[in-house]
Structure 1
């Protein structure tokens, strides 16, 4: 792209942080500058929060970008990307904001660098409204591997929402050749599994979660592992429930929050997995949203998912603005949605 490349105008009112993160990734990969107004306009606290600001600054660093409006609370941002540079990077959110969302912002860009990269991100590793580390490891990255991506991640230290202090690291190699993505069947069932991650809180909280989730899923209580995250600098608790198939893995989660009972945390995660298992579609609703951008970069593909969220529709429309692709949604069977990218 040249200096005369027109700047893309984007309204961030309805997309939340996802719209900003996808815009940053796509801008870096395509070289297309953008202006986003009304950032997170429908949120109770509009504008850039710490984790969004970290995404912006991190994207600017790996892509040698010029940025206007990169400040806490800013509701308008202008981002002009330069050349993506591979290397060793370290970013600290400065709060318990999500490290996994920062990683997902940088990953597409660093796949297009000329050399490999290592990334260290400090903040929250297990947050409400964000994929927990286990989701990245077991659900997200394996899908990217099938598209020709060579990347791996590691949980160095657990960090919960308020205190932060968690660390994830990643190694990313330039993609040699993208492969089109196709996932329409789960394949044979392999296993179900569960874990409660627990730090510096009364142990009965974890026990109540295990009993609630196992009852709803009709699992024996010992099927859900209890792990004490004593390395966490602050208190926290997270429930993960998973189902692994030959072609895909799905994890649903619940993160403890002030004012939310143990039973409510576990019930949300258990109902999520139960809903997924009741469908035949391989891709869960959150993973569907996260696969759109890599699938488009890979030149297209198709997958079946359980439902289409507003996030997913907004993300599809945004990707079509940056890349020469079109998404189509069909319903090949009751309760199954097919997303095709051409």
Structure 2
């Protein structure tokens, strides 16, 4: 333990992997040593899983940081970030399991966004090759990243990452492979003002199977369309493609559906479900539709998953951001807690109605050019 190390209790609030990911990413950006104990204390089993360990090792590699034991099952880590994130390289992370590639992206992506130069450079494009599961339970599907998360990042922060799914990977084999190219910017990121959602103008989706009969994808799609229509959605604005993955494009067998709604207020909200053994495909389609409708019902501008994923970016941005959301999730409360522990970002949550809230953040205006924090 170093004298300036910040100690975090990994069991606070959500008490899972998200706390770990946000803390390590922010620690890397601001060169702040941290110690996290009671990692995933409420989970069974507690401690790091292979996916968490792979993400920690990846981020330590990005900045040549020092990381204490990171084996699966580890319940306490000490992390001393290096002084500089090394850009314009290729990095690979592979947990050796079906652990979610999207969660590996969550911990590493913020670390690679900022160029050390004070003006834009075309040279700093960092390549990530992330292996594991692309469509897993208890994690965003890679289709969510492609159709909800990255469009949010591009539209509101002016960033231009690209994503390619080279191979789909399904539980329990994993074996998926995702390539992300991340151009760095000088920063700071702009603030976000997103309080008027507007009307839904389109609902799109992807219903897929791999190693299973194609009719299951059609059944999920049809059930989702019927469920949306029964909840007042005009079927003429719904467009859900069905996909049967080719054997050379996927490892293992799997199925699921990803839906996203687009509004005339430049908002995108998602809903998804994964097929599992014993669950009828119609139930999978209905579950995704119900989740999307639930995310639309509160009138907010982001869904429950984007709500917590945006927090680290609002904290890093310059100025005051305001985003209208639905009720705060435990993941979001955790993300806010970690951001305020490690930075000078200040969050305020105001209730608009029984089901809608405004998340306000006075961000720190982070830039790597001065390797310090700029006051907003």
TM range (shorter): over 0.9
In the TM superposition, 1:264-283 aligns within 5 A as 264-283=283-302
> For residues 5 and 159 of structure 1, what CA distance do their matches in structure 2 show?
43
Structure 2 equivalent of residue 200 of structure 1: 211
Match of 1:228 among 232, 237, 244: 244
Aligned-pair Cα RMSD in Å = 2.0
Structure 2 equivalent of residue 284 of structure 1: 303
Aligned partner of residue 161 in structure 1, secondary structure: coil
252-261 vs 74-83, which moves further:
252-261
1:68 aligns with 2:77: no
Give the CA deviation at 1:74. 0.7
> For residues 56 and 67 of structure 2, what CA distance do their matches in structure 1 show?
8
Structure 2 equivalent of residue 311 of structure 1: 331
Structure 2 equivalent of residue 239 of structure 1: 257
Give the CA deviation at 1:220. 7.6
Give the CA deviation at 1:257. 2.2
1:109 aligns with 2:127: no
Match of 1:262 among 281, 291, 307: 281
Structure 2 equivalent of residue 298 of structure 1: 317
The alpha-carbon distance between structure 1 residues 224 and 143, as it changes in their structure 2 partners (threshold 3 A), is closer
> For residues 25 and 138 of structure 1, what CA distance do their matches in structure 2 show?
23
> For residues 23 and 51 of structure 2, what CA distance do their matches in structure 1 show?
15
Match of 1:213 among 215, 221, 224: 224
Structure 1 equivalent of residue 346 of structure 2: 326
Preserved CA contact (<8 Å) 2:55 2:93: no
Match of 2:152 among 143, 151, 157: 143
The alpha-carbon distance between structure 1 residues 258 and 40, as it changes in their structure 2 partners (threshold 3 A), is farther
> For residues 298 and 252 of structure 1, what CA distance do their matches in structure 2 show?
27
Give the CA deviation at 1:113. 4.5
Provide the TM-score with structure 2 as the length reference: 0.85
Structure 2 unmatched ranges of 5 or more:
117-123, 230-234, 363-376
Match of 1:164 among 174, 178, 181: 174
Aligned partner of residue 327 in structure 2, secondary structure: coil
116-125 vs 255-264, which moves further:
255-264
> For residues 69 and 113 of structure 1, what CA distance do their matches in structure 2 show?
30
Structure 2 equivalent of residue 155 of structure 1: 165
Match of 1:127 among 136, 140, 143: 136
The alpha-carbon distance between structure 1 residues 37 and 248, as it changes in their structure 2 partners (threshold 3 A), is same
Deviations 1:158-188 (A, max 9, x none): 1123111211111112222311111112235
201-210 vs 40-49, which moves further:
201-210
Deviations 1:252-292 (A, max 9, x none): 11011234333332222111111123232111111000000
Preserved CA contact (<8 Å) 2:271 2:295: no
Structure 1 unmatched ranges of 5 or more:
none
Preserved CA contact (<8 Å) 1:210 1:221: no
Structure 2 equivalent of residue 341 of structure 1: 361
> For residues 213 and 150 of structure 1, what CA distance do their matches in structure 2 show?
31
How many residues are treated as equivalent by the alignment?
340
> For residues 249 and 241 of structure 1, what CA distance do their matches in structure 2 show?
10
1:173 aligns with 2:191: no
Preserved CA contact (<8 Å) 2:167 2:251: no
Preserved CA contact (<8 Å) 1:150 1:175: no
Preserved CA contact (<8 Å) 1:214 1:221: no
Give the CA deviation at 1:4. 6.2
Preserved CA contact (<8 Å) 1:85 1:113: no
Deviations 1:35-61 (A, max 9, x none): 111111111111111111110110110
Provide the TM-score with structure 1 as the length reference: 0.94
